Structure 1
Amino acid sequence: MKHGQTEQFLQEQGKAASRAYLMISGLYLAIYYGIGAFTPLIAQYYHSIHLTGTQIGLISSITPLISIVTQPMWGIICDRFQVRKRVLFLTLLAAGLVVLFFTRAQTFGQVIVLLTILSVFQSAVIPISDSLALAYGKKHNMPFGNLRMWGAVGFAVSALVTGLLIQLWGPKVLFFVFAAAFVLATLFLKKIPDDTEGARLHASIFSGIGSLLKIPRFTLFLFGAFFIYGAVNAHNLYFSLFYQHIGGSVAGVGLAFLLFAGSEAPCMKLAAMITRRWGLEYTLLTAGIISTARWFWYSTAPNTLIVLLLFFIQGLSIGFYLAAAAQYVRENTPGTLQVTALAVFMSFGQGLGAVFCDFLGGIVMQYFGILQTYLFLGLASGLGLIPVLLICFGPWKRQTAS
């Protein structure tokens, strides 16, 4: 190839990489805009149809319980047949359609049925989008946090805007926002290059999970995620009730999530530098310690102004944890099982761990109050630090630099 042709080829490659970056960033922005409308504000809808604390805890356990089964299965399908984009496209559309039926639901039973169906499709969205971003980041030597931070931006803006819309038109508006955001996400997805798919896997479709669970560093990480990430998911559900309990408003909940999730974006970008200096393991440990301390502090009923002023705690805990966790999974599992490994991680954190924290948190709230729910989350998150400590200092400590 001549010099001029080589230069033109490199320029075209650079433009293609830039387009892919923009499309993946847009995908994250849209997906988490939908999640930011749904997750932190759905409790307002549950209260509007007069559900009890125990019912809210039970309903909130459905999505993580379903994801325990469906996330690994979606991962196995994607890794076996390399159809990540097609599966993600279909599940985004299906979730966007199903969520609109919530506008007609008025009973506990109707919500259970709809949330079960929604959870089957929604459980595929995050692990598959993460795997596409990780594949792009690996190919172009880009930290995962630089892509994932756009999800935090979408979540932050949506929580504020949707909170204001709820004050104007009621809690059902969040379902329309969710549906529109997921449909928009499919438009970005269609323009992501197919070279993020990777190589086809020829192994048995059921052998992958067994192989992953034989890796001690990965298994310990999963047990840590069960408690730490499970508590984070429960916080997303119960925060709006907590914030109003300590004197805040519904609009204030949106502002709080704007600040909280907004702090995740720069921290996810900063996480790349921190992990290079400290390593992934110590970054995860630091994030877990900050997160645990935060839940204990919330249980003391702090002033709403102080909660807002210390918004950056979310970035230093959840932002660091999510950015480091995805890279930890990638570096400690086989490349041919990337989606499966991410799905198993989500199943433990957003699945089993969230079932545990959501359900028990709802019972604690009904009988003892929302402040004791956060005390419970602090205790649960503290238990999650034990396996992370074993990763950092135990016999499975990595001997070479991360």
Structure 2
Amino acid sequence: MQFHLSLLYLLYYMGLGAYAPYLSLYLYDQGVSGSQTGLILALGSLAGIIAQPLFGLLNDRSKDYRTMLRWISLFSAIVVLSLMLDQGLFALIVCFVLFSFISSPTSPLIDAIAVQYGSRFRFSFGEVRVWGAIGFSVITLIAGYLFHDIGYKYIFAAYALFAILVFLVMFKLPAIPKIKAAKLHVEKGIFFQLVTNWRFVLFIVIGLLVSGNTTMNFNYLSIFLQRLDYPVELVGWSFTVAALVEIPLFWLSYKVIRRFGLFPLLIGSVFMYAFKYVAMSFAPPTYVIILLQAVDGVALVFYFSTAVEIVNQMAPANGKATAQTMFAAAGGIAGIAANMVAGWVVDHQGPQFLFGMMGAIGITAAMLFLLFPAKSGNRQQVQSAEA
């Protein structure tokens, strides 16, 4: 069971690593401006906002957790190939929005499955999520050299290949019993329970700031490096170094979370993100950028490991996938504003100003999490849940 779920993370993040870091470079090669890139990415985020809660709710109501992810993987593999065609801006936007709608629920659904299977089969989220970091680190470096030579349009073919492999692996995961909904859940509905949970809503609202920053960093780091005339191979190395740092930390995240608690690590990771963005705004030497990407990898591990667990604890028993997809959809809301703003800032103020702005946003988010109510309860819950 743990093997197949680890393989699922490995393949999914290999597909993501072959595609996502180089999307903005593909658009740049197509003559798309920074503002137009922001518009395209923002519309993709909007599609994700609509899709993620919808697919999460359908997944919670389905008889089998695996069914939805199978169909999403298959159809995303088919639709992504349309992005390889030579087409105008409008057709490109339509294809990208459709692809984003279909593929965006993949990550939160895998996370929801991992949490459910982990609690049943006694392994931690980090133990399987680490294989995503391994896959991402391996493929990103290879992709940087490969697609620079053969053309960035082939990133879509690579994503399709790995999506098909994810589809096939899903048939190897065993079914697990669905949790029977309590009467209160049936009467009021999962979504209503979540949106009326003020702590859950507050957590998501603060998370919007972090998600907006990570979206801008992920989508515009390659543009930052290109416009400031850093070596082209630094794009691949930057994402690879961050992913390599994640590998041992995901293995250790279970013990570290038990030792320090969810919120202390969450807050520390957001401060680390902010430090990285501020330092990047000074356009440091190449070796410093590599070191800062290592900082980014540490921040990513502890932010997402803790955020997933906190969201899972706040959700009702039969609404875990819905809660995870709502959290991811909130990131999509942040992504709309972030991509639009980032595209304009890059065109009019430059990439260094963008990263300085991201640093200020990150510090604000960390301070708000520091003031979040009843943080100590979450530390005790994770200790007892994973003991």
Deviation at 1:51, TM superposition (A): 0.6
Structure 1 CA distance, aligned partners of 2:5 and 2:139?
18
Q: Deviations over 1:58-88 (max 9, x none)?
A: 1111222111121111111111123331110
Show structure 2 runs of 5+ residues with no match: 382-387
Deviation at 1:38, TM superposition (A): 1.6
Q: Deviations over 1:180-221 (max 9, x none)?
A: 0111111211101111x5325474598222211222332222
Letter in 2 for 1:276: R
Structure 2 CA distance, aligned partners of 1:38 and 1:149?
19
Letter in 2 for 1:251: E
The 5 A counterparts of 1:111-122 are 111-122=92-103
Query: What's 2:120 paired with?
Result: 139
Moved over 3 A (4+): 200-206, 394-397
Deviation at 1:275, TM superposition (A): 1.0
The 5 A counterparts of 1:123-272 are 123-195=104-176, 198-201=178-181, 203-204=185-186, 207-272=189-254
* SS in structure 2 at match of 1:247: coil
Cα RMSD after superposing both structures: 1.8
Structure 2 CA distance, aligned partners of 1:127 and 1:343?
5
Structure 2 CA distance, aligned partners of 1:274 and 1:52?
43
Letter in 1 for 2:205: F
Deviation at 1:115, TM superposition (A): 1.0
Q: Deviations over 1:71-110 (max 9, x none)?
A: 1111111111233311101110111111111111432211
Conservation of the 8 A alpha-carbon contact between 2:262 and 2:378: no
Deviation at 1:362, TM superposition (A): 0.8
Residue 47 of structure 2 corresponds to residue 66 of structure 1:
yes
The 5 A counterparts of 1:2-401 are 20-195=1-176, 198-201=178-181, 203-204=185-186, 207-349=189-331, 351-391=332-372, 394=373, 398=377, 401=380
Letter in 2 for 1:199: I
Structure 1 CA distance, aligned partners of 2:4 and 2:357?
40
User: Could you say if the C-alpha distance between residues 348 and 286 of structure 1 is closer, same or farther in structure 2, counting changes exceeding 3 Å?
Assistant: same
User: Could you say if the C-alpha distance between residues 305 and 247 of structure 1 is closer, same or farther in structure 2, counting changes exceeding 3 Å?
Assistant: farther
Structure 1 CA distance, aligned partners of 2:3 and 2:298?
25
Letter in 2 for 1:380: I
Deviation at 1:157, TM superposition (A): 1.6
TM-score normalised by length of structure 2: 0.93
Structure 1 CA distance, aligned partners of 2:10 and 2:259?
28
User: Could you say if the C-alpha distance between residues 340 and 46 of structure 1 is closer, same or farther in structure 2, counting changes exceeding 3 Å?
Assistant: same
Q: Deviations over 1:33-64 (max 9, x none)?
A: 11111211101110111011100011111222
Structure 2 CA distance, aligned partners of 1:54 and 1:169?
26
Conservation of the 8 A alpha-carbon contact between 1:80 and 1:201: no
Structure 2 CA distance, aligned partners of 1:217 and 1:105?
47
Deviation at 1:388, TM superposition (A): 1.2
Deviation at 1:122, TM superposition (A): 0.6
Deviates more, 1:377-386 or 1:356-365: 377-386
Letter in 1 for 2:179: A
Structure 2 CA distance, aligned partners of 1:124 and 1:181?
16
Conservation of the 8 A alpha-carbon contact between 1:220 and 1:387: no
Conservation of the 8 A alpha-carbon contact between 1:33 and 1:154: yes
Letter in 1 for 2:256: I
Deviation at 1:399, TM superposition (A): 7.8
Show structure 1 runs of 5+ residues with no match: 1-19
User: Could you say if the C-alpha distance between residues 206 and 364 of structure 1 is closer, same or farther in structure 2, counting changes exceeding 3 Å?
Assistant: farther
Structure 2 CA distance, aligned partners of 1:273 and 1:217?
26
Conservation of the 8 A alpha-carbon contact between 1:82 and 1:199: no
Letter in 1 for 2:351: I
Structure 2 CA distance, aligned partners of 1:325 and 1:344?
13
Structure 1 CA distance, aligned partners of 2:125 and 2:80?
29
User: Could you say if the C-alpha distance between residues 274 and 396 of structure 1 is closer, same or farther in structure 2, counting changes exceeding 3 Å?
Assistant: closer
TM-score normalised by length of structure 1: 0.90
Structure 1 CA distance, aligned partners of 2:103 and 2:61?
20
